[in-house]
Amino acid sequence: MEVFAERWLFDFLIYLYALSLLFSFSDLLYPNLRSRRLSAGLLITVWFCQSLLFILWIFSLIPIALQFDALFMYSWALVTFTLVIQRLYQRMDLFVFFANVIGFTVLAIHLFFARDLSPEYTKLLLSELGFVHISLAILSYVSFSLSSICAGLYLISNYLLKKKKWNKFLFRLPSLDRLQVFSRYLVLIGTPLLLIAMILGVIWYYQMIGQLFWNDVKVWTSSLVMIVYGFVLYQWVVNRWNGRRLAWWNTIALVSILLNVLISSTRISFHHWF
């Protein structure tokens, strides 16, 4: 009975998230205040439910069989950041929509893909060094994801402007300058966060399992993310890349994050987080 009730709660969370995306998509096609408010209200409810579940799990207030890994925290962080951005800035509807599509997908993978997590995972999460490592890694991936979304929207907006396609979709997009600034500085934030997270991860794991650490595919895919977004940052700062060229590279870089998510949800890696 407890397992049934728990699964019902998780299913309810997914339905809320899906309804939020549905109203958000409806507002994009046919802008109206009611759909926008319903979407925002449902998204806030999703955030509240995720936060409540996480708090209950941390303090063991109720028995929860499902493990809470970095996929869950990544989805929660995306919801948090998009709610803040939606509150502070106007004409960010498309940005919020695409960010939440990614967040919904990651949450669905977390809830419905069965994974056997070892006791070492809980030990890692609760250890001080491990917690800092995971938290910084998640924040860096959120920054990179949002940066790539901004870059993709920049390319769409730039294309519509060049073709002079003055439609409702274009008017819902933020200005090119705002998208470019967001995209650049999110990479600037994410790069040092991931670098610090990787350094802490190497220190912790090398003490735990020694040289076997380097046999994990996840280590190399995380390094790939660092190289790809580091390249984007380097071209912006040193070679002064700008506009469409930088946006294309930033958008393509999102593939490295998706690859990491895929690796994290399979048995290829010995640890199932970012």
Q: pLDDT tens digits, residue range 214-259? A: 667 777 888 888 898 888 888 887 777 777 888 888 888 888 888 8
Alpha-helix residue ranges (DSSP H) falling in 60-172: 70-88, 93-112, 119-126, 128-162, 168-171
Distance CA 69, CA 125 (A): 9
Mean pLDDT of the 206-219 span: 67
CB-based contact 76:54 (threshold 8 Å): yes
CB-based contact 158:115 (threshold 8 Å): no
Distance CA 138, CA 245 (A): 27
Does position 127 have pLDDT exceeding 70, yes or no? no
Q: Where is 226: in which H helix or E strand?
A: helix 217-237
Label residue 208 by pLDDT band (50, 70, 90): low
Nearest to 24 by CA among 106, 83, 88: 83
Nearest to 271 by CA among 171, 178, 202: 202
- Please state, for a pLDDT cut of 70, what percent of the chain lies above it: 77
- The least confident of 6-10, 16-20, 190-194, 237-241 is 6-10
Position 238 scores a pLDDT of 78
Distance CA 49, CA 43 (A): 10
Distance CA 233, CA 272 (A): 28
Mean pLDDT of the 190-212 span: 74
Distance CA 186, CA 195 (A): 14
Q: How far is CA 231 from CA 204, 247, 250, in A?
A: 27, 12, 9
Position 44 scores a pLDDT of 92
Does position 265 have pLDDT exceeding 70, yes or no? no
Mean pLDDT of the 30-50 span: 86
Label residue 4 by pLDDT band (50, 70, 90): very low
Average predicted confidence (pLDDT) for the chain: 77
CB-based contact 134:273 (threshold 8 Å): yes
How many other β-carbons are positioned within 10 Å of the β-carbon of residue 25? 14
What residues contact 16, with CB distance under 8 A and at least 6 apart?
Answer: 42, 45, 46, 49
Label residue 207 by pLDDT band (50, 70, 90): low
Position 108 scores a pLDDT of 75
Does position 1 have pLDDT exceeding 50, yes or no? no
- The least confident of 99-108, 198-207, 212-221, 265-274 is 265-274
Position 247 scores a pLDDT of 87
Does position 170 have pLDDT exceeding 70, yes or no? yes
| 176-196 confidence digits (pLDDT tens) | 888 888 888 888 888 888 888
Q: How far is CA 261 from CA 48, 141, 179, 258, in A?
A: 24, 10, 25, 5
Q: How far is CA 169 from CA 90, 102, 160, 195, in A?
A: 15, 20, 9, 37
What percentage of the chain's residues is helix, strand, coil (to nearest 5)? 80, 0, 20
Nearest to 160 by CA among 150, 173, 148: 173
How many other β-carbons are positioned within 10 Å of the β-carbon of residue 242? 12
